[in-house]
Every structure is written in C-alpha cells, then in structure tokens.
C-alpha cells in the first residue's frame, strides 16, 4: 500500500512564525505564558507545554507579574495590550503579519464609516480569537456574520465595508457580499452602491481547498489530521470528504482504525494549516505499521 503525505498541508507561515517565536523564548527564558492555545492542535500544544509554555486565559493576565506573554498568530484586540501594560506584563507579539495588516484595514474602515454613519461587517466565526481582535479595532462596533441568514438585522441604507476572517470560506463570503449588494441596490439603485468588499481571505488557506480536493481524488483513502477545535480543519476536511467519501478525520494515531485500510492501494495523509508536519509523519508511520500487520 502506498502512503503519501500532502506536501501542501501543514502549518501556514503565520503559525510557523508564532511557534518559532515561542521556542526561541522558551529556550532563552524557560518561562512563557501564551494567551490561548498557540495553535488549534492539542498535540502541538502539549509538545510546547512540555517545554515550559503555560497556556492562560485573559483573566490570568493580572497574575503573571513581570513575565512574558505571547500573543499568538490570531492577534488580540487593543484591550489585551492595555491590560498587559497595566499589569506590567511584557508582550511578545507573534500576531501574523497578514492579520496585523487586516487589523489596520478594519480600523481605518471603521474610522471612515464613523464619518459616513456606515457599518463595518466582518464575515467570521463569532467568538474566534482573530474575530475578537478585529472587532476590537472598531471599539466593538463591527457586526459579525457567519452566514447570509445573519444579515437580516443589517441596515442596508448606509455605506458598508465588508471584511472576512482570514480562514473563512471564499464561497460563503461571495454569497454574503452578493446578498448585501442585492439589498443595497433596493435603496441605492444599481450604480454607485456604497459597498466595499475587501478580499481578506488568506491565500495560504484559500488555495488549499482546491489543492486538497485534487489530492483527495488521487487516493483510495484519506486520513485527515487536525485538532478538533480548528475551524480551518473542519472546513478542509469537508473538502476532502466531498472529493473522496473514504476520508477520515483523526486528531492522533490512537483514532486510526485498521479496517479503513483493508484491500486498498493508496492512502493520502493531509492536514489543516494548524497540523504539524511531525504529526502527519507519525500518522503515516502508524498506518504503515497497521498495513504490515494486515498483510
Ligand atoms: S492562515 Fe494566513 S493569516 Fe492566518 S495565521 Fe496563517 S498565514 Fe496568517
């Protein structure tokens, strides 16, 4: 049986950067607090915890003292930086440069919309750290929508600027933008609608869906490796499943089942942007061992 690891799966550069920053700090200080999971992957979080990383929530910031606190790739709202400063905590900022840029754009759009009595809308997962960080750039005034259905209470008679969380689905974003445009046309007519749709889905994620579908079609079985909390993992797994019905989701080697690999020629191992390479390799090795036991 042939086993192939998808070369395009695994950490995006934002996550690589955050983990490298954490490891550098841990190697030189041995003490680092991280606000939330550094990546939505339980196994990678456990690996870094073994090196001394302490995962905390916002409530704990007041207890850190004059130690260092890492801000992960998703970013944080301005209130978090203020809270750290007020408590004498040194911030090590590993916000992804793409997210930082998006935060700035959301802030500028909010300032502009204030002048025009308009609205900033963000397509994203409510409660997701990146989205909380973005909404923080608008003094909490941006509206977060997860689907077209969430648009019902929006006032379409004022200017609107639309953004997407970096890891959301391009198709749903296009539907939301189209629905807003249709509603606004009823008030403004079809020309000069005051709607600005920003293309802010990260290229590292947007292209993966199609690439992953092609990879999934090539193999008899796909084992998709991801943490259960990763929204990007859920979305990419759905693409795998659509392309290849024999796709299985696992978070660790314990969840592999030998019957998935009976009488097949090839297995593809893929993962989310939050899945470490070493974990995909571990899963591939475990599948190989199962294959040897089966034969
Ligand atoms: S998905 Fe893109 S924006 Fe998000 S952390 Fe990774 S590189 Fe940065």
List, in order, residues 6 or more apart from 180 with CB less than 8 Å away.
Answer: 121, 151, 154, 156, 160, 162, 195
Q: How far is the CA of 73 from the centre of ligand 1 (A)?
A: 7
273 touches ligand 1 (CB under 6 Å):
yes
95 touches ligand 1 (CB under 6 Å):
no
- pLDDT of res. 271: 95
Identify whether the C-beta of residue 270 lies closer than 8 Å to the C-beta of residue 10: no
243 touches ligand 1 (CB under 6 Å):
no
- Going by C-alpha positions, the residue among 225, 267, 222 that lies closest to residue 245 is 222
CA 219 to chain centroid: 26
Q: Which of 130, 141, 211, 288 is catalytic?
A: 130
Residue 54 to residue 36: CA distance in whole angstroms: 9
Q: How far is the CA of 172 from the centre of ligand 1 (A)?
A: 19
Final residue of a structural domain among 75, 96, 117: 96
Which alpha helices (H) appear in 137-192, and where do they start and end? 170-188
Going by alpha carbons, the residue nearest to atom 2 of ligand 1 is: 202
Nearest-atom number in ligand 1 for the CA of 202 is 2
Q: How far is the CA of 15 from the centre of ligand 1 (A)?
A: 7
Q: Is 138 helix (H, G, I), strand (E, B) or coil?
A: coil
- Going by C-alpha positions, the residue among 156, 151, 159 that lies closest to residue 175 is 151
Nearest-atom number in ligand 1 for the CA of 98 is 3
Nearest-atom number in ligand 1 for the CA of 102 is 3
One domain for residues 195 and 278: no
Q: How far is the CA of 109 from the centre of ligand 1 (A)?
A: 21
96 touches ligand 1 (CB under 6 Å):
yes
**Residue ranges in the chain whose pLDDT is less than 70:** none
**CATH code for the domain of 145:** 3.40.1010.20
Going by alpha carbons, the residue nearest to atom 4 of ligand 1 is: 166
Q: How far is the CA of 189 from the centre of ligand 1 (A)?
A: 37
Q: Is 30 helix (H, G, I), strand (E, B) or coil?
A: coil
Q: How far is the CA of 156 from the centre of ligand 1 (A)?
A: 31
One domain for residues 87 and 114: no
Final residue of a structural domain among 36, 61, 96: 96
Phi and psi, residue 180, nearest 5°: -65, -45
Identify whether the C-beta of residue 186 lies closer than 8 Å to the C-beta of residue 156: yes
Q: Are strands 119-123 and 160-164 parallel, antiparallel or unpaired?
A: parallel
Beta bridge partners of 225: 250, 271
One domain for residues 218 and 195: no
**CATH code for the domain of 52:** 3.40.50.11270
Which uninterrupted H or E stretch holds 230?
none
* Total count of domains within the chain: 3
Cβ atoms within 10 Å, residue 15? 26
- pLDDT of res. 273: 87
pTM: 0.86
Active site residue 130: yes
Dihedral, 69, 75, 78, 83 alpha carbons, nearest 10: -20
Give CA angle at 237 (234, 243), nearest 5°.
Answer: 145
Q: Which letter does DSSP use for residue 9 in this model?
A: -
Final residue of a structural domain among 78, 96, 114: 96
Going by alpha carbons, the residue nearest to atom 8 of ligand 1 is: 14
One domain for residues 24 and 87: yes
One domain for residues 108 and 195: yes
65 φψ region: left (φ > 0), alpha (ψ -120 to 50), beta (else) = left
One domain for residues 190 and 104: yes
Residue 229 to residue 242: CA distance in whole angstroms: 21
- pLDDT of res. 169: 87
Beta bridge partners of 195: 160
What would you measure as the largest C-alpha separation in the chain, in angstroms? 70
Q: Which domain covers residue 247, as residue numbers? A: 2-10+206-294
205 touches ligand 1 (CB under 6 Å):
yes
- pLDDT of res. 257: 96
One domain for residues 83 and 120: no
One domain for residues 195 and 108: yes
Which alpha helices (H) appear in 162-269, and where do they start and end? 170-188, 203-206, 208-218, 231-243
Residue 221 to residue 136: CA distance in whole angstroms: 43
One domain for residues 211 and 182: no
């Amino acid at each position: 049986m042939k086993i192939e690891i998808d070369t395009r799966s695994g950490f995006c550069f934002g996550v690589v950067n955050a983990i490298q920053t954490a490891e550098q700090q841990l190697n030189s200080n041995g003490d680092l607090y991280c606000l939330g999971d550094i990546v939505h992957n339980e196994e990678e979080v456990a690996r870094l915890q073994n090196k001394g990383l302490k995962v905390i929530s916002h409530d704990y910031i007041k207890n850190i003292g004059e130690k260092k606190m890492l801000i992960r790739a998703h970013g944080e709202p301005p209130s978090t930086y203020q809270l750290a400063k007020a408590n004498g905590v040194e911030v090590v900022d590993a916000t992804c440069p793409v997210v930082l840029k998006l935060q700035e754009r959301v802030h500028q759009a909010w300032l502009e919309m204030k002048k025009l009595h308009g609205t900033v809308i963000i397509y994203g997962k409510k409660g997701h750290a990146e989205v909380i960080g973005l909404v923080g750039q608008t003094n909490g005034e941006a509206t977060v929508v997860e689907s077209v259905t969430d648009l019902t209470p929006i006032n379409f008679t004022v200017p609107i600027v639309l953004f997407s969380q970096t890891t959301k689905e391009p198709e749903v974003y296009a539907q939301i933008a189209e629905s807003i445009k249709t509603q606004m046309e009823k008030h403004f007519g079809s020309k000069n609608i005051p709607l600005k749709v920003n293309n802010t889905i990260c290229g590292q994620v947007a292209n993966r869906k199609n690439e992953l579908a092609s990879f999934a079609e090539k193999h008899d079985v796909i084992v998709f490796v991801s943490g259960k909390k990763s929204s990007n993992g859920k979305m990419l797994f759905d693409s795998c499943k659509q392309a290849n019905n024999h796709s299985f989701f696992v978070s660790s080697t314990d969840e592999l089942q030998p019957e998935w690999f009976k009488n097949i020629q090839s297995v593809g191992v893929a993962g989310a942007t939050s899945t470490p390479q070493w974990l995909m390799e571990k899963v591939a090795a475990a599948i190989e061992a199962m294959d040897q036991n089966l034969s």
